[in-house]
Amino acid sequence: MHNNEFELEDMRQQLNTLKKKLDQQEIVNDRLMRLSMKKEVNKITRRYYIIMAAGILMVPYGYWVFVKLCHFSMAFWIATSIFMLICVGATYYNTRKISDPKLMSRSLVEARKKVASAKKFDADWLFVGVPAIILWLGWFCYECFQNVTDVNPNIFMFGGIVGGIIGAICGIKMHFNTQRKYQDIIDQIEDITKEE
């Protein structure tokens, strides 16, 4: 009888040891997942900061290209600058949702809400951005025919449209890449919260 009690106690200790190891493994996995999500968020915010810097730099660059070199109207440059600054403001607004360095170390439910909100805002921005770019390209073509006299306006306009198409393709690719990163973060958070 003594031998059975000893074996039973030994099995309990082994089970407790195994449970502690599993708990530690779960903590390590949780930390690794949070670190992975934080890296993805940092990639998105880094991309947003680059976009904001480019948008701000477009204001003086646009003046030089459109007004000084191409002799476009001042109204076109002002409208382009306002659009760029609105884009910068919207990007900054969305960045603020996810740029908290402690976002992934706090409540994952709250982190998921912020990431999902940023993802939705990013997706909804296309409904503003795409029509605005189409209008801008139309105005660009008009300005080409009105003000470009040094070279054939058709060539200049064609160059602008090709540049716009290349920019649109790059922008759409970047948009879907960002959406995918947002969704990966949301999926990882849901995986962790299901286990809890």
Model confidence over 20-70: pLDDT tens digits?
665 555 555 667 677 777 888 888 999 999 999 999 999 999 999 889 888
Give the model's pLDDT for residue 22: 55
Q: Is the pLDDT of residue 124 over 80?
A: yes
> Would residue 30 count as lying in a domain?
no
Q: Is the pLDDT of residue 17 over 70?
A: no
Unique residue bearing structure tokens 């995918």: 180
In the chain, the number of structural domains is 1
> Would residue 1 count as lying in a domain?
no
What is the pLDDT of the chain when averaged over all its residues? 82
Which pTM value belongs to this model? 0.77
Alpha helices in the chain (DSSP H): 2-62, 74-98, 108-124, 126-147, 153-195
Q: Mapping DSSP to helix (H, G, I), strand (E, B) and coil, where does residue 133 land?
A: helix
> Would residue 6 count as lying in a domain?
no
Give the model's pLDDT for residue 73: 92
Distance of CA 169 to the CA centre of its chain: 16
Give the model's pLDDT for residue 155: 77
Average pLDDT for 76-85? 94
Give the model's pLDDT for residue 65: 87
Q: Are 129 and 87 in contact (CB under 8 A)?
A: yes
> Would residue 100 count as lying in a domain?
yes
More confident residue, 47 or 144: 47
Q: How far apart are CA 147 and CA 157, in angstroms?
A: 11
> Would residue 186 count as lying in a domain?
yes
> CA quadruple 187, 189, 192, 195: dihedral positive or negative?
negative
Q: Please report how the helices 108-124 and 126-147 are oriented relative to each other, as an axis angle in degrees rounded to 10.
A: 30
More confident residue, 39 or 86: 86
Among 181, 188, 194, 183, smallest CA distance to 35 is for 188
Confidence of residue 11 (pLDDT cuts 50, 70, 90): low
Q: Please report how the helices 153-195 and 108-124 are oriented relative to each other, as an axis angle in degrees rounded to 10.
A: 160
Among 60, 66, 80, smallest CA distance to 146 is for 66
Distant-in-sequence, close-in-space partners of 126: CB < 8 Å, separation ≥ 6: 175
More confident residue, 42 or 1: 42
> Would residue 182 count as lying in a domain?
yes
Give the model's pLDDT for residue 196: 54
Give the model's pLDDT for residue 15: 67
> Would residue 45 count as lying in a domain?
yes
> Would residue 11 count as lying in a domain?
no
- Domain with 100 in it: 37-195
More confident residue, 104 or 181: 181
Q: How far apart are CA 33 and CA 54, in angstroms?
A: 32
Average pLDDT for 67-75? 89
Q: What percentage of the chain reaches a pLDDT higher than 70?
A: 79
Give the model's pLDDT for residue 164: 81
